[in-house]
Homo-oligomer: A and B are copies of this chain.
Amino acid sequence: MPQFLDTRSDDFEAAFADLLSAKREDSVDVDEAVAAIISDVRARGDAALIELTERFDRLRLTPETLRIPEAEVEAAIAAVPKDEERALRQAAERIRAYHARQMPEDAQWTDPEGATLGWRWTPVAAAGLYVPGGLASYPSSVLMNAIPARVAGVERLVIAVPTPDGVVNPLVMLAARIAGVDEIYRIGGAQAIAALAYGTPTIPPVDKITGPGNAFVAAAKRRVFGRVGIDMIAGPSEILVIADETGDPDWIALDLLSQAEHDESAQSILITTDPGLGSRVAAAVDRHLQTLERRKIAGRSWDEFGAVITVGSLQEAAALSDRIAPEHLELCVADPGALSKEIRHAGAIFLGAWTPEAIGDYVGGPNHVLPTARSARFSSGLSVLDFLKRTTLAQMTPGALARIGPAAERLARAESLEAHGLSVTARLRRLNEEG
């Protein structure tokens, strides 16, 4: 049974605080094991990768077969039904169009002191995308990670995807092909992250690693952060639906379940101004849980972490939403545009009853890699910016240096950084001499 809360009840604050702080993931401490794996890959390169892949994926590789050859990719792709390919291509096109608009502009201007200032964006040279194996090996995630990288202008795009027992996911191969991935390696876990970050004789290192993964992958990303760039450390998925009396209980139930079916640790919450709708949604969820393929996973998630919260007004709903800072926020209300303006912390907002969250997972256009576990308070979904970096530019004229240099001299002295000051002084002296 999910929790039923009501902001008008006396114990609401305590119950809501519990909901916010509920620990949904067993944080297994794999840090030591991961440190050992990374050292091993750094020390022994391909040999370590091969050994670890045999141990974890029951797959015997050689340096020559670490990479999936073109012919094998082609053969896998040939197995994809045509309608799946069409759907994937439509998704890719829409994702590309959305992300193309994110390209930031360079800037350059000369200020009143005569200093020319600005910045310039350039792409990361090589990016590695981690794709989990098995159940969570999603072709849609390949598109969501690879397309922004390509739009940014990344030249070398690499995928690491474990293939337990040698099983390759055809749709993942096709997604990689459509997105323009250059190399695919059949490695996974912390060893794959280590190989991407440090390189091996067979796998040149990359500059940035993105993509979801299990506890080992997450710990490895945290460890290699700094050596390479990483995206976020993703937690289990979440959805918050805010609905008024216009909400359709069956649609909302399915939207809640489409997060719950991801993972037993996923969280689905409904906040509604209509207590009757709350009950009808809960009943509809129960009904679907009779037949849903993933009913065991979805049921556990809903029972354990699900919640239906009744509020007095949509303003109250927006305020609670900001405390949750949800990854996905659906506004199933009469005027979603107005309500969305009251929301500040959310990864993605889906406006109106005709925008199920699942559209965002596949074909909406925006990225589905979004901040989880309340991190929408301070971080954003994956974007083209994650594959770009900015170089700042500054050029002084003698006149500009004369006008702003003395302040730098003064502050350098205050900070006891003499050479800093002298580097300005030497130039200003020349100016005076030349008078």
List B contacts of A215 (CB < 8 A): none
**B111 close to A427 (CB less than 8 A):** no
Is there a chain B Cβ closer than 8 Å to A9's Cβ?
no
Complex: how many Å from CA A353 to CA B226?
32
List B contacts of A416 (CB < 8 A): 135, 293-294
Name the one of B349, B356, B364 contacting A423, with C-beta atoms under 8 angstroms. B356
Is there a chain B Cβ closer than 8 Å to A177's Cβ?
no
**Residue on B nearest A378 in the bound complex, by CB:** B229
Is there a chain B Cβ closer than 8 Å to A115's Cβ?
yes
Complex: how many Å from CA A38 to CA B185?
38
Is there a chain B Cβ closer than 8 Å to A22's Cβ?
no
Name the one of B102, B255, B351 contacting A393, with C-beta atoms under 8 angstroms. B351
CB distance from A324 to the nearest CB of B (A): 14
Complex: how many Å from CA A385 to CA B406?
30
CB distance from A375 to the nearest CB of B (A): 7
Name the one of B358, B383, B404 contacting A420, with C-beta atoms under 8 angstroms. B358
List residues of A (176-208) whose CB comes within 8 Å of B's CBs.
207-208
**B415 close to A139 (CB less than 8 A):** yes
Name the one of B90, B250, B344, B346 contacting A407, with C-beta atoms under 8 angstroms. B90
List residues of A (374-423) whose CB comes within 8 Å of B's CBs.
375-381, 383, 385, 389-398, 400-401, 404-408, 410-412, 414-423
Name the one of B344, B361, B420 contacting A122, with C-beta atoms under 8 angstroms. B344
List residues of A (199-257) whose CB comes within 8 Å of B's CBs.
207-208, 222, 225-226, 228-229, 232-233, 235, 250-251, 254-255, 257
Q: Which of A81-89, A272-280, A304-312 contacts B (4 or more CB under 8 A)?
A: A81-89
Q: Which of A42-50, A52-60, A93-101 contacts B (4 or more CB under 8 A)?
A: A93-101
With A348-B391, A407-B86, A411-B88: A356-B424 Cβ-Cβ less than 8 Å: yes
Bin chain A's interface residue count.
Answer: 35 or more
**B404 close to A359 (CB less than 8 A):** yes
**Residue on B nearest A234 in the bound complex, by CB:** B226
**A419 close to B354 (CB less than 8 A):** no
**A362 close to B422 (CB less than 8 A):** no
CB distance from A306 to the nearest CB of B (A): 13
Is there a chain B Cβ closer than 8 Å to A28's Cβ?
no
**Residue on B nearest A381 in the bound complex, by CB:** B392
Is there a chain B Cβ closer than 8 Å to A71's Cβ?
no
**A125 close to B86 (CB less than 8 A):** no
**B359 close to A396 (CB less than 8 A):** yes
| Other contacts beyond A362-B411, A365-B394: 8, CB < 8 A | A87-B406, A111-B365, A122-B344, A294-B418, A354-B396, A354-B397, A358-B412, A380-B389
Q: List 27 A-B contacts (CB under 8 A).
A: A84-B410, A125-B377, A139-B411, A139-B415, A207-B377, A226-B232, A226-B233, A226-B375, A229-B379, A257-B422, A261-B420, A292-B418, A293-B416, A293-B418, A340-B393, A343-B391, A349-B393, A356-B424, A358-B417, A359-B394, A359-B404, A359-B408, A361-B408, A362-B411, A363-B405, A365-B394, A376-B391
